[in-house]
Structures are given as C-alpha cells and as structure tokens.
Amino acid sequence: MTLIGIALQPGIALAGPPRTISEGMNSPVGVSVAGEEVYVANINGGNVTIYDAGTGVLLRTIGDGLSNLAGVAVAAGEVYVANWSGNSVTVYDAATGDLLRTISDAMNTPAGVAVADGELYVGNDFGNNVTVYEADTGLLLRTIAGDMSTPYGVTVAGEQLYVSNFDTNSVTVYDRVSGALLRTISGGMNNPVGVALADGQIYVANSNNNNVTVYDADTGVWRRTITGRMNLPYGLSLAGGQLYVANWFGNNVTVYSKPSPPTEVSGTAGDNQAAVTWNAPGDDGGTAIVGYEVTAHPGGATCITENHSLCTVDGLTNGLSYEFTVTTINAMGSSDPSVPSAQVTPEGTATQRCVTAPTSIPRRGTKKLMRPGCVTNAGQRVGVKVRSVAPRGDMRSYRLFCVKKSGKKTTTTKAGFGGFRVCKNGRTKIRTYGVPLELRIVWKAKATTGSTAFTQEQTYKT
C-alpha cells in the first residue's frame, strides 16, 4: 500500500483562493504550502508540481521520474520529498528544482515528512517508527518508536511530535526529544494518513471516510468534521487559515477556509428583543455552512441558528438602541463579523388590566370605564375620552365621573362631547341621561422611552 505524509508550514493569509487546484496532477498524495506557493507530491506522476496559491496556476515541476514519492515538506527554500519505494528523502532547491542531497540512513518505506528547527522527521511505514535527521547534513540523530502501527503522517508542534497510525486509527503524540509517548488521540478516524496542526487543534485526513476530523491537540476531544469534495484524501497542509487536502483519487487539491460574512443585515425591534435577518454569504469556504451567530452591540447578547436567515436576539433593554453583526459558521470556523445593521430600538408593547370596557352603555344609567389609578405595564397613566358620534340633545347627554377612594364624586369640566380625562386617584365612570346616543370611548396612554403608546377604543349605541 502506498503512503502519504503531512507537513505544516508557515503561510500568509490568502484572499479568495481557488477552491480546487488540479492542473498537471497525477495521484496527489502529499501537499505543503510555503509562502504563496502550493507544493504537491504526485505518486503516479513521479514529481512535485508547484502552484500559485492565489490563482491555482501551475508554476513549475520538480523531480520528474521519482519513484513512488509520498510526503512533501518545504523549509528554508528547500523541498523535502519522501520516496516510499526508494527508502530515501530527496532534497531540492525550491526555486530551481536542483537536487541538493539525498538522505536515506535507516529509512524503511518513508511516507510522512516534516521539518522543524533544523531537524527532518520521517515517518517510516514498514519500519513502524520515526527517524530524525539533521536537515542540512542528513545525519541520523535518533529514532522514535513505540505504539506505532503503519505510521503515515508526521507533524511537529513545539516540543511534541504527532504521528498518524493507519492500522490502529489513531494519532500518537511523543516528546520529540526523548521519544516518550505522551498520549493517544482516537475516535472517528478511519485509516488516518495526513496530519496537520494549528491553533491547538490537530487535523486528520481519513482516507477511508473521505473527511478530515479535528481534535483538541491537548485533550484529544473531537471538535468537528470537515467534509465535501474529497476523494481518498491523503495529504494535508494548513496555511493562512486555509486547509489544503490532496485527494489521491480526485487528482486535485481541495481548499477549505472560513466562510465570508453575511450581507444586508437588518433588525426589527420588538419587546426586549429584535428579529435580525441577513442574506447568505458569497463564499461558503468550500464546505457547508452549518449556522450563523448574531451579536448585539452594545451588550453582546447573541443568538445562534442552524443555517437559517433569521434569528431573534432576546434580553435587550427597551429604549436602548442596538446594532447587530452576524458571522457565518462552517466546519473551519466563523467568518469575520458582517457590516453592522442600522440601529434599532426595542420597545415594550403597552398593556393594561385596569380598563373595564363595558359590553354596552344604557340609555339612562352608569357604567364603570376604568379602575382606580389605571396605569400600563410600563407605568403610563391611562386616560379616557368620550365623543358623541352623532350628538343629540343638550349638554347633559352624558358625563364622565372620577370616583375617588373617599367616595366623593368629581365631574369633568366638560360634558356633552367629553374631554380627555385621567383619573389618578379613583375609578372612572360614565353616566347617561336618557338621550339616544352613539358614543365613541377611547382609552389611551402616551408612548414613553422603551414602550409604545396604548390605545383602545369602542363605539356604543344607547
């Protein structure tokens, strides 16, 4: 079985990279990104093809005629290529393609390669070990072994060495100096090959599942799975926030990143909340969008939704103005925040339980219209107004009364067409005097900061 390795090299942030690179590939099994170039090892092509990371254009080819090459790594202007059947690593000048040296001591079907701090790490598939060399001279420094089973990918982070084990569906982690086994990461892997590490997370290419699983590098806890457009994924490389996956059967390298933010964000105010909407982003990052997160400013209240374009943010303060930003989420992470929405100000809906609208008004008699000291839920005082739609008779057609708690009655200053009356200390009543009337009674309270106006009206015939 032919193998592949992984290397993590420093890179730069790339604006709008191609999502698939394929020109001139022939069974790509290794990939490494250095600066603005992508290096791809082609096992059946017997070469390394080099591409512009921003456009995917093929720039040049290195090492035609190599035999069953596997992993590739780039460091200090040099390209390291694992030759699986040749039991060696060949080193080339990255710019000219000139062969600089060959390293082979103690290798046994080398697959993965990585370079860190002047040292070359080689995962030996049939040797079940990792051999470590002085990168400049090829001098064998040490061998790390134990609990490896068909090791493929290797990568180094800090003082730790990460090794993927094809047969045991695991990644073993070692002290890269002493070789001591520190921990084993497993769960969800299926014939793991390439490995790469960034931001405290380990990425593992699962050749038999056509996916990449991501784990916390320290605890081994599974975080997420990246899927889509993979076909026998082998090599991995991380650079500038982009994940590059070499697909052996796909004859391509697929590129994944965080998505772009949503557009046209807007909010609609409610009572202590706001409904926020947006348009989907133009770039999903090469893998499916799984959700969106809305954040309110100020305060930081959030709302998360699964792949919808509306989310309601609760816990806002009525009367306070807010802007909202939205981020897009895919398996690579969250986008930058969107352009903020226009400001919206939540308002409470004024309600009350003290208006006692009668079902009817007698031609002669008295009816209660409002309880004592009537206020809304926002503390607005409620008043009442009566108008005769079709006035008849004299000024004593009807009157409003404020009945105070003491029982004393105080009439309105205006009868007949009835003025607006706020009865602060007692309940409000209407009295009619035997004249046929059509009356419109309106209960209302003015809007205040953080709450809408309250209005209720009803028409009666006596």
Mean pLDDT of the residues in the chain: 88
Please report the pLDDT score of residue 88 as a whole number: 95
Task: Tell me the three state secondary structure of residue 155.
Answer: strand
Whether residue 54 is contained in a domain is answered as yes
Indicate if 192 and 320 belong to the same structural domain. no
Nearest to residue 192, comparing CAs of 219, 211, 174, 220?
211
Which CATH number goes with the domain that contains 396?
2.60.120
% of the chain at pLDDT higher than 70: 90
- Residue 408 banded pLDDT, cuts 50, 70, 90: low
Q: What is the pLDDT of residues 336-389, one digit of tens each?
A: 999 999 999 998 777 777 888 888 999 898 888 888 778 887 788 888 888 777
Whether residue 220 is contained in a domain is answered as yes
Please report the pLDDT score of residue 92 as a whole number: 96
Which CATH number goes with the domain that contains 308?
2.60.40.10
Indicate if 89 and 218 belong to the same structural domain. yes
Please report the pLDDT score of residue 371 as a whole number: 82
Indicate if 202 and 270 belong to the same structural domain. no
Last residue within a domain, chosen from 237, 256, 275: 256
- Residue 456 banded pLDDT, cuts 50, 70, 90: confident
User: What are the C-alpha distances in Å from 238 to residues 184, 241, 446?
Assistant: 22, 7, 60
Indicate if 68 and 179 belong to the same structural domain. yes
Both tokens assigned to 25: 């590939």
Last residue within a domain, chosen from 231, 256, 281: 256
Cα gap 44→408, rounded to integer Å = 104
Whether residue 12 is contained in a domain is answered as no
Indicate if 245 and 283 belong to the same structural domain. no
Which CATH number goes with the domain that contains 193?
2.120.10.30
Indicate if 186 and 250 belong to the same structural domain. yes
- Residue 9 banded pLDDT, cuts 50, 70, 90: very low
Out of 216-220, 390-394, 424-428, which region has the weakest mean confidence (pLDDT)? Answer: 390-394
The residue with greater pLDDT, 443 or 221, is 221
Rg of the chain taking only CA atoms, in angstroms: 37
Please report the pLDDT score of residue 335 as a whole number: 95
Strands 409-411 and 99-103: unpaired
Indicate if 325 and 376 belong to the same structural domain. no
Please report the pLDDT score of residue 327 as a whole number: 97
Indicate if 395 and 318 belong to the same structural domain. no
Q: Are 247 and 211 in contact (CB under 8 A)?
A: no
**HSE-up of residue 423 (Cα within 13 Å, Cβ side):** 29
Whether residue 342 is contained in a domain is answered as no
Q: What is the pLDDT of residues 44-81, one digit of tens each?
A: 999 999 999 999 999 999 987 777 889 999 999 999 99
Whether residue 214 is contained in a domain is answered as yes
- pLDDT for 150 beyond 60: yes
Please report the pLDDT score of residue 206 as a whole number: 97
- For the residues of 187-232, what is the DSSP string, one character each? SS-SSEEEEEEETTEEEEEETTTTEEEEEETTT--EEEEE-SS-SS
Q: Are 34 and 51 in contact (CB under 8 A)?
A: no
Indicate if 25 and 122 belong to the same structural domain. yes
Please report the pLDDT score of residue 259 as a whole number: 94
Indicate if 157 and 36 belong to the same structural domain. yes
Whether residue 347 is contained in a domain is answered as no
Whether residue 105 is contained in a domain is answered as yes
Last residue within a domain, chosen from 226, 256, 286: 256
Please report the pLDDT score of residue 391 as a whole number: 57
Q: Which residues pair with 129 in a beta bridge?
A: 124, 145
Whether residue 14 is contained in a domain is answered as no
- pLDDT for 114 beyond 80: yes
Where in the sequence is the domain holding 137, given as residue range(s)?
Answer: 20-256
Indicate if 237 and 130 belong to the same structural domain. yes
Mean pLDDT of the 276-303 span: 95
Mean pLDDT of the 419-423 span: 64
At residue 395, φ and ψ (nearest 5 deg) are -70, -10
Say how many domains are in the chain: 3
Whether this model's pTM surpasses 0.85: no
Both tokens assigned to 190: 């299926």
Q: Are 223 and 256 in contact (CB under 8 A)?
A: no
Q: What is the pLDDT of residues 20-45, one digit of tens each?
A: 999 999 999 999 999 999 999 999 99
Indicate if 133 and 230 belong to the same structural domain. yes
Mean pLDDT of the 433-438 span: 84
